[in-house]
Structure 1
Amino acid sequence: MADFDFSQEINALHATYDTIAKAIDLDDLQQRIKQLEQEASAPGLWDDPDHAQQVTSKLSAAESQLKRLTTVASRIADVETLVELGREEADQETLAEAQTEIQAVHQTLADIEIQTLLDGEYDERSAVVTIRSGAGGVDAADWAQMLLRMYLRWAERHGYKAKVMDTSYAEEAGIKSATFQVDAPYAYGRLSVEGGTHRLVRISPFDNQSRRQTSFAAVEVVPLVEPTDHIDIPDTDIRVDTYMSSGPGGQGVNTTYSAVRITHLPTGIVVTMQDERSQIQNRAAAMSVLQSRLLVIRHEEEARKKKELAGDIKASWGDQMRSYVLHPYQMVKDLRTGYETSQTQAVFDGDIDGFIDAGIRWRHQQRKQEEA
C-alpha cells in the first residue's frame, strides 16, 4: 500500500478522462443524441425498417457512450472521496478498496479509449466478413469453419447481430468459404484489424498417423455500403448466374434456382449468395456485398495515390498476421502487435477482444507514422 501513489494515480485518471472527452467531444455527442432522438420519434420511421434500424442502433450506441463517460467521471469523483476518507481515518481496508477501484477505472478508460481510435472513414459502419480456406487441404477447410465459429461467438458475446449470408461447404469437412454480416456500431472499425492470413498449427484430426499440420485461412473485412456511397455498377459490368443452393437446409433447398453468383467483369470479383429463400433477395444481398468490396477498392486506390505523393512507405500488413499453435505448445500470437495468450480455447470461443484492441492501437500508430 505504501508504494501506491494515490495522488499520482488519480491525476492520471483525470488526465486520461480529459483526453478521451476532448477526442469524443461531449457537446457534439449530446447534440447528435438530440438529433437522433428527433429522427427516432419521427412519424413513419418504420416505413423503412432498414433506415429505422440504423437510426435506433446509432442512438443506442451514442447514449451508451455518453452513459459510460458520465459513469466513469462519477467513479473518479467517488474514488477521490474514498481515498480522502481512508487517509483521514487511517483505514487500510478503505484504501485497499480505493486502490482496487482505481485499477478498475484505468481499465474502463482504456476500453473507452479504443473507440476514440476508430476514426477511419468507414469505421463506425457494420461489417461484412468473408473467410476462405487456404493451403492445407481438409485441415484448412476445417480451420476456416473454426474461424467462422470464433467470430460468430465474438459477436454473440457482445450482443451484436450476426447473420451468415453465404456458405460454401467443403467435400470432406469444414467450409471452402463463408460470408457473414455483423450489424453493430463500429463493427467494421473493430473487425477490420482481423483482415489477413490466419495460420493454425496442430495435430491433424484428419491424419491417421497423427502428424502435425499447418493450415491457412484468409479473412477479408469490408464495410457495409450505404445508399450515400454512390457505387454505380452498370449491368454490362456484371454477369449473373443462378443455381441451386447447396449444403444443409430445409424445405426448398436444392429444389429451386434461388442461389445467385455475381461476377464483376472489370475486377474479376465473384460474390455468391444463397442464404435467402428467394432469388431476388439473394441477388440484392450479393449486390450489396459487391458494392462493399468495390468501395474498399476505391478507398485503397485513393490511399495508394496519397502514399505515392508521400513517397515510399512500407506495407503495414503482412500476409500472415496471426498464428494459432496447438502443438507442441498452446499459444495464439499476433505477429504485428506481439499480443499473445496461452488460453487458446477461450480464443476459439470468441474471446478475441485483446487481439482486436491491440490491433486497433497498432493501426493507429502505423497511421501516425505514415502521417509523420
Structure 2
Amino acid sequence: MAEFDYAQALAQIDEKSAMMSKALNVDELRRSIAELERQASEPGLWDDTERAQGITTRLSAAQSQLRRLEDLSRRIEDVHALVELGREESDQESLEEAQDEIRSIHADLADLEVQTLLDGEYDARSAVVTLRSGAGGVDAADFTQMLLRMYLRWAERHGYRTTVMDTSYAEEAGIKSATFRVDAPYAYGRMSVEGGTHRLVRISPFDNQGRRQTSFAAVEVVPLVEATDHIDVPDSDIRVDTYCSSGPGGQGVNTTYSAVRITHLPTGIVVTMQDERSQIQNRAAAMAVLQSRLLVLRHEEEARKKKELAGDIKASWGDQMRSYVLHPYQMVKDLRTGYETSQTQAVFDGDIDAFIEAGIRWRHEQRKAEQAEAGSPDGVSRK
C-alpha cells in the first residue's frame, strides 16, 4: 500500500477550501446575514407572516452556511497542527487520526462544492413538488405514496420545512397525486433533478397470485414564485371551482366547500388545493402554484427558442429517469447519471442525497456542454 502523502493531501484541502470560500463569497454572506438580522429585528415583522418566515428561513440558512465554512476552516487548521505534531513526535496514532480527519474534510468539501453548482436562474428558490401516479393501477398509487414519504423524510433529515398542500387519495390504497412545498434556500436547485418519471418493479402486495408488477409515478418540481416574477394571470384566463375536501378524518375540512380547483384555460394547467380550512387560503396557495408552473413554462419556452436558434432541438432530459427494483434483486439506479445502490430501504427512508448530488453534477456537465456547443466558432451545434 502506498504511503499516505500528508503534504499533498493538506495542500489539496487548502486549495479546495479557498475555492469554496471564493465561490460562496464569505464576505457577501456576512453582509447578507447582517441585512437579514436587521430585517428580522424590525417592529411588526410578523404582521406579514409569509414575509417573516421567508426572512427567518433565509437568515437561518445563511448563518448555518457561515458556521459550516468557519467550522471547516478551524478543522483544517487543527489537522495541520495534528500532522505537524505527529511528525515531530513520531506519533503514529496522531498521524492516523489526522488521515481520517483529512478524508472527512475532503468529503465535506465535496458536499459543499455541490452548492456552488446550483447556479440556475431559480435554483436558490423554495420548491413546489407534485407527484402523480401513472401506469400500474393500485401499485402506482402505492408507489406514489412511497415517493411522497421518501421526499418528506429527506427534507426532515435536513431540517427543511415542508407543507403538504394537496393530496388526492386513491380508492384502494395509496394516492393519485400530492403537492407539497419545501421551504429552504436552494430547495428547487436540489429537488429539480428529481423531476421525471420514476419506475418501481416489485412483487405486488395487491396481487393475490404474487406476480411481479411494474408501476410508474411522475415527479414535477417548480420553483416557488416571488413578487418580483411578474406572472400576471387575468381572471378571464382561469376557471375556479370549489368542492368539499377529501381524505381521512371526517373533520370540518371535509364538510365545507373549502377545496379549490383552478384551471388555466390557455394552457389547460389544473391546480387543486385543500390543505387549508379556508377557501380564501386555498385559492391563494393554488394561485401561487399555478404562477410557479407558468413561470417554468415561460422559462422552458425561452430555453426552447434559444436552442432552436442554435440549431439544437434535442431534449436534455429523458422521460424515465430512475428505476427502483425490489424483485428479483434489490437496486435503485438513476438512468441519467448511472449512480446506483442496493440499499433500497434506506432510499425509501429518505437517504437520497447521493442521487441528488450526482444529478446536480450531471446537470452541470450538461449545461457546460450546451454552452460549449452554442459558443462554437461557426455558431453551429456539434453532435
TM-score normalized with structure 2 length: 0.95
- 1:192 corresponds in structure 2 to 192
Is residue 353 of structure 2 the alignment partner of residue 320 of structure 1?
Answer: no
Deviates more, 1:60-69 or 1:304-313: 304-313
- 1:156 corresponds in structure 2 to 156
Residue 251 (structure 1) shift: 2.2
Is residue 346 of structure 2 the alignment partner of residue 346 of structure 1?
Answer: yes
Q: SS at the partner of 1:118?
A: coil
Aligned counterparts of 1:134 and 1:35: Cα–Cα separation in 2: 46
- The within-5 A match list for 1:88-237 is 88-237=88-237
**What does the per-residue CA deviation read over 1:275-305, in whole Å, with 9 as the maximum and x for residues that have no partner?**
1112111111111110110011011111112
- 2:306 corresponds in structure 1 to 306
- The within-5 A match list for 1:245-264 is 245-264=245-264
Residue 313 (structure 1) shift: 5.0
Deviates more, 1:41-50 or 1:151-160: 41-50
Aligned counterparts of 2:187 and 2:284: Cα–Cα separation in 1: 21
Q: Percent identity?
A: 79
**What does the per-residue CA deviation read over 1:26-78, in whole Å, with 9 as the maximum and x for residues that have no partner?**
22112211211211122222221111111111111111111111111111111
- 2:13 corresponds in structure 1 to 13
> Amino acid of the residue matched to residue 353 of structure 2?
D
Aligned counterparts of 1:161 and 1:26: Cα–Cα separation in 2: 25
- The within-5 A match list for 1:47-58 is 47-58=47-58
Residue 231 (structure 1) shift: 0.7
Aligned counterparts of 1:251 and 1:171: Cα–Cα separation in 2: 19
Residue 121 (structure 1) shift: 1.2
> Amino acid of the residue matched to residue 356 of structure 1?
I
Maintained 8 Å contact 2:330/2:344: yes
- The within-5 A match list for 1:274-293 is 274-293=274-293
Is residue 28 of structure 2 the alignment partner of residue 25 of structure 1?
Answer: no
Aligned counterparts of 2:267 and 2:145: Cα–Cα separation in 1: 27
- The within-5 A match list for 1:35-74 is 35-74=35-74
Aligned counterparts of 1:121 and 1:249: Cα–Cα separation in 2: 41
Q: SS at the partner of 1:208?
A: coil
- 1:267 corresponds in structure 2 to 267
Aligned counterparts of 1:50 and 1:254: Cα–Cα separation in 2: 26
Maintained 8 Å contact 2:304/2:313: no
Aligned counterparts of 2:278 and 2:60: Cα–Cα separation in 1: 32
Deviates more, 1:313-322 or 1:101-110: 313-322
Aligned counterparts of 2:250 and 2:208: Cα–Cα separation in 1: 34
Q: SS at the partner of 1:272?
A: strand
Aligned counterparts of 1:82 and 1:145: Cα–Cα separation in 2: 49
Unaligned runs of 5+ in 2: 373-383
Q: SS at the partner of 1:144?
A: helix
Aligned counterparts of 1:257 and 1:152: Cα–Cα separation in 2: 28
How many matched pairs? 372
Aligned counterparts of 1:89 and 1:22: Cα–Cα separation in 2: 35
- 2:76 corresponds in structure 1 to 76
Flag as ranges the 4+ runs of structure 1 deviating above 2 A: none
- Give the root-mean-square deviation of aligned CA atoms: 1.1
Deviates more, 1:305-314 or 1:356-365: 305-314
Q: SS at the partner of 1:217?
A: strand
Unaligned runs of 5+ in 1: none
TM-score normalized with structure 1 length: 0.98
Maintained 8 Å contact 1:313/1:370: no
